[in-house]
Amino acid sequence: MSFLYDDKSKLVNKVFNHVYENYDLMNDIMSLGSHRIWKKNLISWIAPKRYDKIIDVASGTGDIAKLCSAETNNESKITCVEPNSKMLSIGKNKLSHLNNLTWVLSNAESLPFKKNTFDFYVISFGIRNVSNINKSLKEAHRVLKPGGRFFCLEFSKVENEILNKIYKQYSKIIPSIGKIIVGNRMPYKYLIESIDKFYDQRDLLKKIEKNGFSHVEYRNLTNGVAAIHTGWKI
C-alpha cells in the first residue's frame, strides 16, 4: 500500500474539510454509537495517570484528549496534533475549558517535538489516513520516552464470516447516509475504501514491530470491526 505523499494528504484534507462540522454526529450514526465504547476501551487499556505526558495524534475534534483528560482528573498534559485546521478548531473550541490541552497543527509524519518527550502516544482512527505509515511509526517511536507506550485504535478486519457479510452490506449504505448528513458521498466512499485497503490486525502488528516497538500486541473490538494495537519503546 503506497501513496504519493502529496496526493494522499491533499485527498485526506479535502475529506475532512467536507465533514468537520458534522464529524461527531456522523461518527455516532455510522458506528451506531460503537466508537464511544471502543474509545472507552482504549482509555481503560492506556490507563493514563496524573502528570503523564500524552500525545494524541490525528486528534480530530479531541475525543481521545477529552477522555484521557477526564481519566486523569485533568492533571495530565495532553498535546493534540492535527493537520486539518478546521477539525483542530472544532476540538480546540469544544475543549477550551481544559487548560491541560495544547493544540498543534502538524502531522504524524513530522512531529515538532524533541525525542523522548511523551509517556504515551495515541492515534485513534488516524493511522489509516497518514500518507507514510513507516515514517509516522518512526516518529511515534522517536517522541516517546524509553518505557513509553504506543496505542493505536483503528478499523480492522472482521474475523467472523457472518458478521463480515452483514458489515460489508452495511458499509455499502454509509456513503448514502453521508449524502444525507453532510450533503456529499465522497468522504464516506473514501472511508469505506480506506478501511477495505488497510492492513489486517497481524500485518499492522508486524509494521509496528518493524518500526522499533517491542512487545506489540492487539485486541479486537466488536469481532475485529476495530482493533487496538499497542507496543513499547524499550
Ligand X SMILES: C[S@@+](CC[C@H](N)C(=O)[O-])C[C@H]1O[C@@H](n2cnc3c(N)ncnc32)[C@H](O)[C@@H]1O
Interface with ligand X includes 82 (CB under 6 A)?
Answer: yes
Q: Supply the minimum distance, in Å, between the C-beta of residue 109 and ligand X.
A: 6
We find the least distance from the C-beta atom of residue 172 to ligand X, in angstroms, to be: 20
Q: Of 44-52, 67-75, 76-84, 180-188, which segment contacts ligand X by CB under 6 A?
A: 76-84
C-alpha to C-alpha distance for 114 and 144, rounded to whole angstroms? 9
Q: Which is nearer to ligand X, 6 or 161 (CB)?
A: 6
Q: Which of 72, 124, 211, 222 binds ligand X (CB under 6 A)?
A: 124
Contact call for residue 108 and ligand X (CB under 6 A):
yes
**Dihedral sign of CA atoms 41, 47, 49, 55 in order:** negative
69 binds ligand X (CB under 6 A): no
Q: What is the size of the binding site for ligand X (CB under 6 A)?
A: 22
For residue 102, the cross-strand partners are: 79
Q: Which of 26, 54, 64, 158 binds ligand X (CB under 6 A)?
A: 64
- Nearest CA among 68, 67, 102, 96 for reference residue 82: 102
Does the protein bind ligand X through residue 84 (CB under 6 A)?
yes
Q: Cell numbers at residue 36, please? A: 464511544
Q: Which residue is nearest to ligand X (CB)?
A: 60
For helices 201-210 and 133-143, give the axis angle rounded to 10 degrees. Answer: 60
Strand 144-155 versus strand 226-232 pairing type: antiparallel
What nine digits make up the cell of 91? 476540538
User: What distances in angstroms separate CA 152 from CA 128, 204, 209, one per listed residue?
Assistant: 10, 10, 13
Is residue 228 near ligand X by the rule CB under 6 A? no
- Interface residue list for ligand X (CB under 6 A): 9, 12, 16, 57-60, 63-64, 82-84, 87, 107-109, 124-126, 129-131
